[in-house]
């Protein structure tokens, strides 16, 4: 997923599925027809991103209201499992970027101008919004002095901490920054996919183990480093490799997954069961240590990989049905694709508003014995409020700033 606008992707044209990012501007006369032709959308990636965005909302609804001892263990399981969203987003983002560059030639500067133009403004706008609403909507966090507030604003623009979901926009910007170099590296290593995956997995496990098991050095500088280092690309390198390789070998990967679907599903379920058992062994009813819900627990890496594969395989099957003419909700996915980033950006604000007006207590009175009904109701309400906000913003001149989409004009299709 690109967390900003949905990207266009071209499913299959060139036998070499690597993008071309030139260091110098190519001669206009040499421009190919492909560079001026808008490529087709990759519907599998669209559905995958929509589901991942939905799971982000669900995860935050679960953790916002389910923290009492009687529901701590199951809510912790959901929280740990749904860390998959960050890793899935990285894989889909790289997949879409590589695939969308097939048959195109673009300088690094042109690439950066296009990609950063999609994401920087929304990141800055939402950082400012949450830097205000965090104080307005929380009785425990009143406004500091203007100087302190301004300093905090500047800091959160560097760290992505204005709200708990904004860090991913920093990860996306890092991906965009390094993509020209990554694309050249991918071209060199195109014929060595298993070597790439092995090295990437080793780096990924190394960073997971560093965070999960190694005692942290003492001191404010080390605290600052460890508090933010998990937002850097090495923490996601395996999923970057998975996304890029899946796009490089698009046709081969798709064909192999389809022909081995049952075996793939069986292996993925076994990997998921391994991670589930690891969580259950580390927790007890009413007792869930922080290490058991950490996003970098090495024992959960099998689930993260397996979950991404299972989600992608399901989206592929949906896309096959869609391509065959079956009514499988293509318009719903198209509708959600346009609004997904906006929902991602605004849903914590909706949770804050609902908490401020006492809706969480109302949910407790409605469904005192069912965390499932409380959470489901909250998720539906948050989604509805978020979609309403996004639809309104899509019809304003500042839609790109808030929802990373062009304005929808009256009478036009979205």
> Which residues have C-beta within 8 Å of that of residue 407, sequence separation ≥ 6?
394, 395, 396, 397, 399, 400
Per-residue CA distances from 21 to 6, 29, 91, 311 (Å): 20, 17, 20, 30
Give me the residues of the chain with pLDDT under 50, please.
1-20, 22-39
- Looking at residue 28, its pLDDT comes to 43
* Total domains present in the chain: 1
Residue 20 within any structural domain of the chain: no
> Which residues have C-beta within 8 Å of that of residue 258, sequence separation ≥ 6?
316, 320
Residue 32 within any structural domain of the chain: no
| Residue where the block lists tokens 């701590």 | 72
Residue 41 within any structural domain of the chain: no
Segments of 44-184 assigned E as strands: 105-107
- Domain boundaries, position 171: 57-403
Residue 291 within any structural domain of the chain: yes
Structure tokens at 69: 């001892």
- Looking at residue 103, its pLDDT comes to 78
Residue 48 within any structural domain of the chain: no
Strands 20-22 and 105-107: parallel
Q: Is residue 318 a contact partner of residue 330, using CB atoms and an 8 Å limit?
A: no
- Looking at residue 411, its pLDDT comes to 58
Residue 374 within any structural domain of the chain: yes
Angle formed by the axes of helices 371-393 and 359-366, to 10°? 140
- Looking at residue 281, its pLDDT comes to 98
CA atoms 240, 243, 248, 252: torsion sign: positive
Residue 352 within any structural domain of the chain: yes
- Looking at residue 264, its pLDDT comes to 98
Segments of 78-136 assigned E as strands: 105-107
Residue 42 within any structural domain of the chain: no
- Looking at residue 331, its pLDDT comes to 94
């Amino acid at each position: 997923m690109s967390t900003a606008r949905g990207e266009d992707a071209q499913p299959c044209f060139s036998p070499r599925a690597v993008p071309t990012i030139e260091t110098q501007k190519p001669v206009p006369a040499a421009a190919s027809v492909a560079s001026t032709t808008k490529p087709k959308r990759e519907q599998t990636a669209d559905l995958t991103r929509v589901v991942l965005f939905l799971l982000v909302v669900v995860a935050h609804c679960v953790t916002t209201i389910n923290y009492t001892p009687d529901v701590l263990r199951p809510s912790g399981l959901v929280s740990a499992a749904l860390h998959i969203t960050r890793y899935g987003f990285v894989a889909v983002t790289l997949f879409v970027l590589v695939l969308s560059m097939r048959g195109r030639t673009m300088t690094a500067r042109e690439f950066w101008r296009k990609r950063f133009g999609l994401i920087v403004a929304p990141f800055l706008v939402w950082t400012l919004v949450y830097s205000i609403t965090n104080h307005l909507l929380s009785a425990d966090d009143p406004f500091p002095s203007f100087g302190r507030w301004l300093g905090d604003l500047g800091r959160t623009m560097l760290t992505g901490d204005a709200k708990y979901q904004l860090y991913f926009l920093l990860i996306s910007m890092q991906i965009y920054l390094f993509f020209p170099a990554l694309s050249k590296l991918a071209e060199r290593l195109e014929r060595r996919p298993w070597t790439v995956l092995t090295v990437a997995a080793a780096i990924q496990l190394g960073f997971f183990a560093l965070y999960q098991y190694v005692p942290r050095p003492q001191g404010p500088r080390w605290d600052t480093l460890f508090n933010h280092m998990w937002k850097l690309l090495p923490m996601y390198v395996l999923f970057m490799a998975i996304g890029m390789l899946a796009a490089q070998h698009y046709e081969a990967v798709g064909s192999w997954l389809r022909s081995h679907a049952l075996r793939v599903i069986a292996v993925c379920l076994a990997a998921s069961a391994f991670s589930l058992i690891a969580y259950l062994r580390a927790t007890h009813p009413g007792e869930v240590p922080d290490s058991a819900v950490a996003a970098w627990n090495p024992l959960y890496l099998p689930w993260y990989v397996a979950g991404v594969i299972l989600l992608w395989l399901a989206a592929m099957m949906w896309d096959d049905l869609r391509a065959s003419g079956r009514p499988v909700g293509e318009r719903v996915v198209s509708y959600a694709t346009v609004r997904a980033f906006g929902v991602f950006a605004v849903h914590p604000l909706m949770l804050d508003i609902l908490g401020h007006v006492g809706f969480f207590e109302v949910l407790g009175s409605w469904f005192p014995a069912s965390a499932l009904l409380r959470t489901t109701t909250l998720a539906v309400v948050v989604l509805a409020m978020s979609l309403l906000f996004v639809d309104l913003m899509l019809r304003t001149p500042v839609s790109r700033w808030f929802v990373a989409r062009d304005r929808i004009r009256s009478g036009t299709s979205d």
